[in-house]
Amino acid sequence: MNRLTTAVGLTALATGVVALASVADAASLSVSVKPFGTMPDGQAVQMYRLENSNGMEVDVITYGGAVQSIKVPDKNGKIDDVALGFDNLDGYLHTDTYFGALIGRYGNRIAKGEFALDGKTYHLPINNGPNSLHGGTTGFDKRVWAASKIETPNAVGVELTLFSQDGDMGYPGDLAVTVQYTLDNDNDLRVHYSAVTDKPTDLNLTNHTYFNLAGAGNGAVLDQVAMINADKITPVDSTLIPTGKMMDVAGTDLGFTTPTPIGAHIHADNQQLKYAEPKQGGYDFNYVFDNPGDLNALAASVTDPQSGRTVEMYTDQPGVQFYTSNFVHDVHGKDGKIYPHWGGFTLEAQHFPDSPNQPSFPSTELKPGEKYSQTTIYKFLPTNLPS
Ligand code: GAL
């Protein structure tokens, strides 16, 4: 079987979708596509726009499979874009913030860029201090994904596929990945990931959207109120690699089991907050869900009291990286807006960092014949129509 046949076969397997259901409810849901730019090597990049009947609009670009914008109404029906991003491809090519991107093969850090599988040690690019971050120097966030529309009676979306060859960024196995973003009239932005491999490998996919519910570029997110349904985090060392232990955080400066403004304890004298952001403090931790794997349980939510906008997250993953954009410093983003320090937060549903080197963490190994599957839903409230 040649490489192309393998890729097509693997992709069909990964998708598990033979024919996508008919036509979306044309009156309220729509998906459209337009050019977004051209890569230095001439590849075209497209933007898919998903729209629903509540005035919600999500733009996804095929570069990095990135969510480029999420427009949602506030309590008065005023629409604003709550996702950090760039107006054009150039911004994405020249800034390493991972705005909105799909992250792979391994979201988060792998210590010293090394892991062993079946007695063989694999070496990954070192691109973050002594460690490998987000799949290496040319992770899935820097690839152009193949794309097609999804139109079903209840949702519209875009299906993205990527074929990652054996040895890509040091990881073993030919890997076929499919990611479906869909939007419905309940304001659910659903991200479904699937993948298959032909050799044992490690995989941890996620999405890296930075949210600011007051509108991207409208200041910092410190007044926005977060709830994360997790009593514990996996504490880290100074290079943000887990120590392998669990830390109880409920009721501490690190905990969000009761809704708490993001900025309430961010400057506290706490070693973990300082590892995440040495000068002023920040959150950049893997929270371990109390109800892992339960797609019906509220995993996390953030509310902006001013606008009344809320994002809720539901996921079947065991953890979430809650990151307060500590490395973002006055980035020039969309519509001439500037994204300040703490100008966004991420809710990266995922397996724990450095799992291949941490025997006590849930495994991230994917074997031939198995199918990687993840579903994460970002639900936006209120769902009222703009007046
Ligand atoms: C996050 C990670 C941060 C930082 C960021 C990208 O997922 O937790 O430490 O690396 O990505 O700048």
Helix (H) or strand (E) holding 5: helix 3-15
Residue 385: per-residue pLDDT: 57
Tens of pLDDT, residues 281-304: 999 999 999 988 899 999 999 999
pLDDT score of 366? 98
145 CB near ligand 1 (under 6 Å)? no
Active site residue 365: no
**Residue 73 forms beta bridges with which residues?**
79
pLDDT for residue 337: 98
Q: Is 327 in the pocket of ligand 1 (CB under 6 A)?
A: yes
**At 90, is the pLDDT very low, low, confident or very high (cuts 50, 70, 90)?**
very high
Whether the CB-CB separation of 117 and 94 falls below 8 Å is answered with no
User: Which ligand 1 atom is nearest residue 208's CA?
Assistant: 7
- Per-residue pLDDT, 384: 66
* 132: CB partners within 8 A, 6+ apart: 106, 109, 110, 112, 113, 124, 125, 126, 170
Ligand 1 and 133: CB distance under 6 A: yes
CA–CA gap between residue 227 and residue 379 (Å, rounded) = 14
Alpha-carbon distance values, 77 to 29, 86, 142, 209, 380 (Å): 18, 24, 35, 23, 13
Q: How confident is the model at residue 319 (pLDDT cuts 50, 70, 90)?
A: very high
pLDDT reading at 1 higher than 50: no
The DSSP symbol for 352 reads P
* 348 in active site: yes
* Residue 27 confidence (pLDDT): 59
Q: Is the CB of 323 under 6 A from ligand 1?
A: yes
Ligand 1 centroid–CA 53 distance in Å is 34
> Which helix H or strand E contains 190, and what residues bound it?
strand 188-197
Listed range (23-37, 203-217, 321-335) with the worst mean pLDDT: 23-37
Choice among 208, 277, 341, 351 that is catalytic: 208
Distance CA 323, CA 309 (A): 19
Q: Ligand 1 centroid vs 46 CA: distance in angstroms?
A: 26
pLDDT at 383: 80
Distance, first Cα to last Cα, the chain:
57
Q: How far is the CA of 250 from the centre of ligand 1 (A)?
A: 23
